[in-house]
Structures are given as C-alpha cells and as structure tokens.
C-alpha cells in the first residue's frame, strides 16, 4: 500500500511537471527579467493562501497575531510566526535566484544541478530533524538524483568542463540550497501550524518580500524601462508571458499544498526526492504531446535521446520504489 506522504509527493511531482510542460508549450512568449519572472510566479500562490487563511483560519490567525505570547496549538507562538514569515522571504529569494539562473545561465547545466536540492535536504534533515534511514533508502535517493541528472543532460550543449562556471553551476547550487532550506523549514513548522495557517504565514512573508523587490524589476519605476516599440509591435507576447506565469503560479499553489501535506505525514528528505519524478513526467508528457498533438508541442527525439532518457526514467522509478519500500 502506498504511504500517504508518498501519494502527496507524487501529486506534487505531477503539478510541477504540468507547470514545466505549460512553460514548454508557450515558450515563444518569453520574459527575460528574473525579478519580473519571480513577481508574476510568486504573487498568485501567495495571494491564494493569504485569502484562504483569512477565510478558513481567521480565528487562529487573529489569536496568534494579537496575543502571540499566549497563543498555542493551531495559533502557534511568536517565534514560529517569525520563522514562517522568514521562510516566505527565503521562498521569494529562491525563486529569484532560480529565474536568474534560467535567464543568464546554461539551462542544460543549470536544471540538472538543481537536483542537488535532494542532497542538501538529506543533510539538513539529518542535522535539524535527526532524520536517518536504512541503507536502501539512501540508494533510492541516489538513483533518483542520478536519474534526474541523466534525463536533463543535453548532448549538444558542449563539454561538461566548459559549462562548469559559476554563472551556471554556482547559481544553481545556491538556488538548490535555498529551496532545501525552504523545504526543511516547512517541515519544522508543520508541528506548530495547520496546513492552511502555515501557508498563510509563509505567503504573507513572501508577498511582503515580493512587494519590496517589485519596484526594481525591468519596466518598473526604478528599473530599466521597456522598449515602447516592442510593446506596440508585440502586444500579444507581452500579454501571454504574464498570463502564463500567473497560471503557473496558481498551479504552484496546488503543488505547495500537496507538498506540505506530504511533509505532515512523512520525512522532508524523502518527500523532496520523490518530487524529482517531475523530470520523468515532463519527458513522457513532452514525448506524448509531440507525437499525438504536434501542433501544441513539437520536439525532436533522436534514438540517443530516447535511450538516454528511457534509462534515466528507469533509474528514477527504481529509486522511488526503493524509497517507498525501504521507509517504514
């Protein structure tokens, strides 16, 4: 029988894969400013959970807000609220670094390196939460990371050594560590808050940090102005890009909810590892769309790529099976 936490982690991987496929389908409408990408991606799911928190958990939130010293249980303590707000800021910072790497780095190296998030979470889970597992579980995590690296590798991107420069790998490591800190922090806070209330405080901190950086994005008051000719000549692209990011942000709200539910029932290290199934799902989804609906998404898959990604897929699946079987 599949564990509850494993099921929620699988759902999270499906949502993340859907977000990635959505980006592939409408990749023609691009925005190359990292701050703008972060703002449009984060604001939707922050807003969803602030509204949801006010509607569903207002008694607990108001008690924690106005009587933090005496609050307990669902209301949490002042320290827990401060931590949740801080992790919201870390979330925004992680997305900012992530988009900076996507825009300015070598994507074929940047995305695979993000798989190191699983390794960082394993370390943080052991140091902060005392999480330790049987040897078979660690083998499973290793297979997931290896499979994610392999499935993301692009043969045409040049030599590995030529791509290992700070602008690519260094930024990816920073982003992976930031997401690992965020994931571990959410696991710690599941003992202090219910799901919706935790998402409310994290989103409040995240939204405040977004408001702080928004004026500095390209086209904003303090940032570089957009070319007015571009706005006139390509209004459709300027409209489609933000719409895509907003939809992705709303999907991210679902993914964040299912991930926190996974953390409430299982270890953060293994839940994070299982979400790496998204790279497999993106490959399968892209292959299916390119074969069945080429008008929506057309990608070429040569024999080498099919063998490479098929082998990587088996590694990811085998790793997830070991994780599920090995963890009791």
Mean pLDDT: which of 44-58, 69-83, 288-302 is highest? 44-58
pLDDT at 250 over 60: yes
Contact assessment for residue 41 and residue 249, using Cβ atoms and an 8 Å cutoff: yes
Residue with tokens 């926190």: 260
pLDDT tier at 31, thresholds 50, 70, 90: low
pLDDT tier at 241, thresholds 50, 70, 90: low
Burial class (CB in 10 A: 0-12, 13-18, 19+), 268: buried
Alpha-carbon dihedral 52, 53, 55, 56, rounded to 10 degrees: 100
Mean pLDDT of all residues in 50-64: 87
Nearest alpha-carbon partner for 207 in 92, 36, 51: 92
User: What are the pLDDT digits (tens) for 157-167?
Assistant: 554 444 444 45
Residue 161's pLDDT is 46
The token duo for 85 is: 């707000």
The token duo for 202 is: 């994290």
Strands (E), 179-258: none
User: What are the pLDDT digits (tens) for 94-151?
Assistant: 988 888 877 776 555 666 677 778 888 888 988 888 888 888 888 888 888 888 777 7
More confident residue, 53 or 290: 53
| C-alpha distances out from residue 164 to 108, 147, 167, 168, 242, Å | 11, 20, 8, 7, 31
pLDDT at 74 over 50: no
Distance from the Cα of residue 131 to its chain's centroid: 22
User: What are the pLDDT digits (tens) for 291-316?
Assistant: 787 766 666 667 877 787 788 878 88
More confident residue, 173 or 229: 173
Per domain, the residue ranges of the chain are 4-326
User: What are the pLDDT digits (tens) for 199-214?
Assistant: 999 999 999 999 888 7
**226 secondary structure, DSSP code:** P
Distance CA 268, CA 259 (A): 9
**φ, ψ for residue 267 (rounded to 5)?**
-75, 145
Residue 261's pLDDT is 92
Confidence (pTM): 0.79
pLDDT at 37 over 70: yes
Nearest alpha-carbon partner for 273 in 125, 130, 158, 172: 125
pLDDT at 89 over 90: yes
Residues 6+ away with beta carbon under 8 Å from 37: 31, 95, 99, 102, 103, 245
| Mean pLDDT over the full length of the chain | 77
pLDDT at 262 over 80: yes
More confident residue, 4 or 73: 4
Query: What percent of the chain lies above the pLDDT cut of 90?
Result: 21
């Amino acid at each position: 029988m599949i564990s509850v936490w494993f099921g929620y982690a699988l759902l999270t991987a499906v949502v993340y894969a859907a977000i990635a496929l959505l980006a592939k389908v409408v990749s023609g409408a691009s925005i190359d400013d990292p701050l703008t990408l972060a703002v449009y991606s984060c604001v939707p799911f922050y807003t969803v959970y602030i509204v949801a928190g006010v509607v569903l958990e207002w008694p607990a939130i108001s008690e924690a807000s106005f009587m933090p010293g005496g609050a307990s249980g669902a209301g949490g303590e002042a320290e827990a609220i401060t931590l949740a707000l801080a992790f919201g800021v870390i979330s925004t910072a992680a997305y900012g670094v992530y988009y900076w790497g996507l825009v300015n780095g070598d994507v074929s190296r940047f995305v695979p390196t993000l798989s190191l998030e699983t390794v960082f979470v394993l370390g943080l889970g052991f140091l902060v939460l005392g999480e330790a597992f049987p040897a078979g579980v660690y083998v499973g995590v290793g297979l997931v990371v290896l499979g994610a690296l392999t499935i993301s590798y692009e043969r045409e991107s040049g030599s590995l050594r030529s791509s290992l420069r700070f602008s690519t790998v260094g930024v990816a490591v920073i982003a992976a560590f930031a997401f690992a800190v965020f994931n571990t922090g959410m696991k710690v806070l599941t003992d202090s808050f219910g799901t919706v209330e935790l998402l409310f405080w994290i989103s409040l901190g995240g939204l405040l940090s977004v408001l702080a950086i928004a004026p500095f994005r390209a086209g904003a008051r303090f940032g570089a102005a957009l070319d007015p000719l571009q706005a006139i000549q390509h209004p459709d692209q300027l409209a489609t890009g933000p719409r895509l990011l907003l939809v992705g942000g709303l999907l991210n709200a679902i993914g964040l909810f299912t991930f926190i539910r996974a953390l409430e029932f299982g270890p953060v290290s293994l839940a994070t590892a299982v979400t790496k199934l998204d790279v497999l799902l993106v490959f399968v989804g892209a292959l299916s769309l390119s074969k069945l609906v080429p008008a929506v998404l057309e990608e070429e898959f040569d024999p080498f790529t099919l063998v490479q990604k098929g082998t990587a897929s088996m590694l990811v699946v085998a790793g997830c099976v070991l994780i599920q079987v090995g963890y009791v």
